[in-house]
Amino acid sequence: MAQKTFREEYESIGTFLVLEILALVSFGLGGVSLIFQYAGFIVALIATFFAFKNYSKDDLIPVLCLGAPLLLLSVFTGFGYSFSNGDILAKLGCFLGLISFLAIGLSARRMKSFSTRNAIYCIGGGLALLTLIGTIATWAQYGVFYPLIHAKAGSYYYDGNLYSILNEMAWLQGFKVVEVSQNYGGLFALMSASFLPALLFVKYKEDKIMFIVFAVIGGIGLISILSIPNFYALVFFAIAFAAALFYRFLRNNELAIKILKYAILIIVGFAGVLVIIALLNASNSNVSSFIAGSSFLNRIFNGNRIMIVANPIIAAALRVENLFGLNHIISGYDIPMDAIRTSSGAFEIEIIKEGGIIAFLLFIIFALFAYESFSRYLKSSKDADYVKVIFLTLIVGFVFYSTLCFDVFPVTHDSGVYLPFTTSLPLFIIIFVIGFTALPKGKEDVSYQKEVKKEEPQINVEDEYTFIDVEEEEM
């Protein structure tokens, strides 16, 4: 029997560290991201070391396609303008965070001892625990359905300032409970609720533990959404659930797939047109005058809570001195500080604020490669269906919610607490998923699978990928 190498002997250490960082990031500790940015970098180095032997030349393309634009995006957002007042540790942490969790995802996929099921349990458990604590604290402090009960008298004074309880909730930040916006807490609740659609693929009689775990994780998130209540989170949960239903019943229907592809193309094209018009509206006086003259267009591009904040940010970002993000010292005369110090609600605008227009273009490139990679994963990967659906609903819910409801100033009584989008802990989870699901094109059937008895139910099979050809006969 051949002696095991150091990598093979101690790979379980790397697996444990990956699972631990996923659990801690999901739990969040109230959004203290700097710790996890550096911890993620260390874990990424360790995971890459143990997985290095299992990489092949075929991996070069997905690594470059996803890693290159994300690396450049991290440079622009990390070392551009931020509210860290020149803190080099915060800037370096922002740079390391995104690329580290992509590396963790890529490497975890190629570690033979890594368990996809355990990774999902760690992510879901962390999200559910944080959501549960915040929900119970909110019930104790405000009551159940308090936005509906106190709709006509929901204001109070704190430190001489007037606040409304209708848009806030209690949340665990570090080791204390603080008041945050519903939009901030709602994202964690939505991601926790995203585990419910996995029950479409798990039979209680075949795997009671998994069924109960997913039901508890998802149930905590859904109860939180309903009891606050959070309308946007509920709508986007419905969209994510619809995506899971489509995958469950129509993934093999050629007509449905064709309609879906055309629908996605139309949506992407429409979004592209909106972006171009928004850029012209902020930079060209003739276009802005034309839009202002139309009540319908004016409502879309000028008269809503997102664009009121976004327009001055976009206008300032188009200036040469702001290519690396909005520098408030230079741009202070061109853009109201309120716009910089206000959450737009759209993560796309926050990326422009943090890293400039070039960072936004890099994000679009990364998003296109990620979409192509994840679509291929859903179609060809040999992962269990419940794994695919959890990843699908997490991504769909996160993207939709963050486009309308992402809050970078979530702490109600302290507007100085700034949580940039690119240092968001939920984003780190999504980046991990994107890295974990990235497989070489044309090599989706290359996998490593633990040997199991044929009579065992398929739901218990753990598909873990390396680069052994599955077309070889199992011994």
pLDDT digits (tens, 9 = 90+) for 269-311: 998 899 899 989 888 888 889 998 888 888 888 888 888 888 8
- In 323-380, which ranges are continuous DSSP H helix? 328-331, 337-340, 347-380
Q: How confident is the model at residue 158 (pLDDT cuts 50, 70, 90)?
A: confident
Residue-level pLDDT at 268: 87
448: β partners: 464
Q: Per mean pLDDT, which range of 38-47, 72-81, 387-396 is the poorest?
A: 72-81
Residue-level pLDDT at 440: 81
Tokens for 2, please give them: 């051949």
Q: How confident is the model at residue 107 (pLDDT cuts 50, 70, 90)?
A: very high
- In 201-346, which ranges are continuous DSSP H helix? 208-227, 231-250, 254-283, 285-292, 295-301, 305-317, 328-331, 337-340
Q: How confident is the model at residue 452 (pLDDT cuts 50, 70, 90)?
A: very low
Instruction: Express as a percent the part of the chain with pLDDT over 90.
Output: 45
Q: Is residue 95 within 8 Å of 79, Cβ to Cβ?
A: yes
Q: How confident is the model at residue 225 (pLDDT cuts 50, 70, 90)?
A: very high
Exposed e or buried b per residue across 259-289, where buried means at least 16 C-beta atoms within 10 angstroms of its C-beta? eeeeeeeeeeeeeeeeeeebbbbbeeeebbe
Q: How confident is the model at residue 442 (pLDDT cuts 50, 70, 90)?
A: low
Give the residue with greater pLDDT, 275 vs 216: 216
Give the residue with greater pLDDT, 87 vs 213: 213
Residue-level pLDDT at 404: 93
pLDDT digits (tens, 9 = 90+) for 34-73: 888 899 999 999 999 988 888 888 888 888 999 999 999 9
Closest by CA to 350, choosing from 178, 94, 29, 41, is: 94
Domain ranges of the chain: 10-250+304-438
Tokens for 329, please give them: 């010292």
Residue-level pLDDT at 332: 46
Mean pLDDT of 343-364: 90
pLDDT digits (tens, 9 = 90+) for 308-323: 888 888 888 888 877 7
Helix, strand and coil in the chain, % to nearest 5: 70, 5, 25
Mean pLDDT of 85-112: 87
pLDDT digits (tens, 9 = 90+) for 227-280: 999 999 999 999 999 999 999 999 888 898 889 888 888 988 998 899 899 989
CA-CA distance, 387 to 361, in Å (whole number)?
A: 31
Residue-level pLDDT at 209: 94
Dihedral of the alpha carbons of 224, 229, 232, 236, in degrees to the nearest 10 = 40
Average pLDDT, the chain: 84
Q: Which of 151-160, 300-309, 334-343, 393-402 has the highest mean pLDDT?
A: 393-402
Residue-level pLDDT at 446: 42
**Residue 396, φ and ψ in degrees, nearest 5:** -60, -50
CA-CA distance, 358 to 322, in Å (whole number)?
A: 10
Q: Is residue 65 within 8 Å of 373, Cβ to Cβ?
A: yes
Is residue 333 pLDDT above 50, yes or no? no
